[in-house]
Amino acid sequence: MIRSSNAKSPRRETSPAELTRAALVRAALKLFGRQGFDGTSTREIAAEAQANIGSIAYHFGGKEGLRTAAADFIVETIQTVAGQALGNAQAPVPDSPEAARAQLFVALERMVGFVVASPQAGEIVQFVLRELSHPTAALDRIYDGVFEPTHRRLCQLWEQATGEPAESEATRLTVFTLIGQVIYFRIGREAVMRRMGWRDIGAAEAVKVVAATSDNLKAMLAARMGQRP
C-alpha cells in the first residue's frame, strides 16, 4: 500500500532518558548560575531535576560534562533566537543600507524580547556572567558558538547600514554598546524595576524598553549618516 504524500509522519515521543537529561541540564544551568560551579553539588542538581544522582554520570560523565552540556544548551537556544532576526552566519547581508538598518531594528527588538522579558534568559545570563568572571572551557563554547558570530554579523549589518568597515575598532565597540544596553536591563533588573516603579518586566515593559533602545539606535545611525536625530 502506498501512503499519501500528505500523510503526517507519527510524532516521536520523548523518551524518559531524554526527559531526564533535559531536566538535569536545566537544573545545572539554574544552580551553576545562582551558586557557581564549585558551590553546587551533584546531589543538589539531581534533587532540582528530580532525578537519580547516578544519572549525571550516566548522561554526562560527571559534573564537568554537565557544565559543558549547559553551555551547549545556551548556544543552541541563543542561536535559534539570533537566527530568527539575523539569519545564519552564511546568509547574505541585506543588499541595501535601508534593509540593513531595518534588520538592525528587528535584531534589537528580538534581543529585548528574549533577554529582557524571557524568564529563561535570567538563568542563561547568570550562567554566562559566572563564566565571564571565571572563564572555563564552557565560556569558549559559548563565545565561539554565540558571542563571536552574533557580534560579527551585527558588525556586518552596521557596515551595510552606515558604510563604516565591519571590523574597524569603532564598529566593534559600537556594536558592543548596542548589545550592552539590552543586557543591562537583565543584569540590573531589580534596580530598573525599583526606579521605574514596575513590579515586573514583562511584555508590556519590554515594549517600552524596545522604544527606548530603538530611539538610541536611530540617533546613532543618524549621527553616522550626518543627519540630525
Q: Give mean pLDDT, residues 202-211.
A: 95
Q: What is the pLDDT of residues 92-126, one digit of tens each?
A: 888 899 999 999 999 999 999 999 988 889 999 99
Sign of CA dihedral 91, 156, 130, 142: positive
DSSP annotation of 210 reads H
For residue 159, which of 210, 95, 111 has the smallest C-alpha distance? 95
Q: Tell me the three state secondary structure of residue 94.
A: coil
Residues contacting 141, CB < 8 A, separation 6+: 68, 71, 72, 75
* Per-chain mean pLDDT for the chain: 91
Q: Is the pLDDT of residue 91 over 50?
A: yes
What is the SS3 assignment for 91? coil
Contact between 157 and 178 under an 8 Å Cβ cutoff? The reply is no
> Over 90: is that where the pLDDT of 161 sits?
yes
What integer is the mean pLDDT of 183-197? 96
Q: How far apart are CA 172 and CA 177, in angstroms?
A: 9
Coil, strand or helix at 93? coil
Residue 13 confidence (pLDDT): 76
Write down the pTM of the prediction.
Answer: 0.86
Q: Is the pLDDT of residue 5 over 70?
A: no
pLDDT in tens, 35-45: 999 999 999 99
Distances (CA, A) of 80 to 69, 108, 186: 17, 15, 19
Residue 110: CB partners within 8 Å, gap ≥ 6?
81, 82, 84, 85
CB 104 within 8 Å of CB 87: no
* pLDDT greater than 80 at residue 127: yes
Q: Are 56 and 46 in contact (CB under 8 A)?
A: yes
- pLDDT for res 88: 66
* Contact between residue 36 and residue 25 where contact means Cβ atoms under 8 Å apart: no
Percent of the chain with pLDDT over 90: 81
pLDDT-based confidence at 227, cuts 50/70/90? low
Cβ atoms of 186 and 125 closer than 8 Å: yes
Q: Are 75 and 180 in contact (CB under 8 A)?
A: no
Using CA atoms, how far residue 206 sits from 109, 112, 170, 187, 201, in Å, is 9, 7, 28, 15, 7
